């Protein structure tokens, strides 16, 4: 369950990264919100993921735009405190329908959290589209 949450969070964040910031709400204060850095079309953006579904959308910080993921390939690593053996989980998923005009974003290696139990990192790629969708 935790692995799925992390993958969904990363996917959403990665997809949201391609949008250009605009005026809007910032959902980063929501309970269980995860902020992720992504690079889309050469632009680095920060996104927030609040859902825990496989294709939960990501909100672009400082914008009203939302990134809707359609595919992802993410690697989550948890390293226990004290140097224990890291646990590595790779998640991949894609929607069956052939979708057009998608944006692919890269999530560089980044720390999701670090605490007394250990450290969690995330990296990978996400594809999807921003709303409102241009045809």
CA dist., res. 124 & res. 109, Å (int): 8
All structural domains of the chain with their residue ranges: 2-131
pLDDT tens column, 30-80: 556 788 999 988 889 899 988 777 788 899 998 888 888 999 999 999 999
pLDDT at 83: 82
Nearest Cα to Cα of residue 15 among 132, 133, 126? 126
Nearest Cα to Cα of residue 93 among 36, 55, 122? 55
Q: Is pTM, for the whole model, over 0.75?
A: no
Reduced to 3 states, what is the DSSP secondary structure of residue 14?
helix
In whole angstroms, what separates CA 15 from the centre of its chain?
A: 7
| DSSP run (H or E) holding 5 | helix 2-16
Position 95 confidence tier, pLDDT thresholds 50, 70, 90: confident
As given in the structure block, the two tokens for residue 53 are 């579904």
């Amino acid at each position: 369950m935790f692995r799925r949450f992390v993958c969904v969070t990363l996917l959403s964040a990665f997809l949201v990264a391609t949008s250009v910031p605009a005026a809007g709400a910032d959902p980063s204060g929501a309970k269980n919100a995860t902020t992720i850095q992504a690079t889309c079309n050469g632009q680095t953006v920060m996104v927030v993921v609040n859902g825990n579904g496989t294709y939960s959308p990501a909100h672009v910080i400082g914008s009203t735009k939302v990134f809707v993921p359609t595919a992802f390939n993410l690697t989550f690593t948890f390293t226990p405190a004290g140097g224990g053996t890291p646990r590595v989980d790779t998640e991949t998923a894609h929607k069956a329908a052939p979708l057009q005009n998608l944006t692919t974003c890269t999530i560089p290696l980044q720390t999701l959290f670090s605490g007394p139990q250990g450290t969690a990192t995330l990296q990978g790629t996400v594809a999807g589209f921003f709303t409102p969708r241009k045809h």
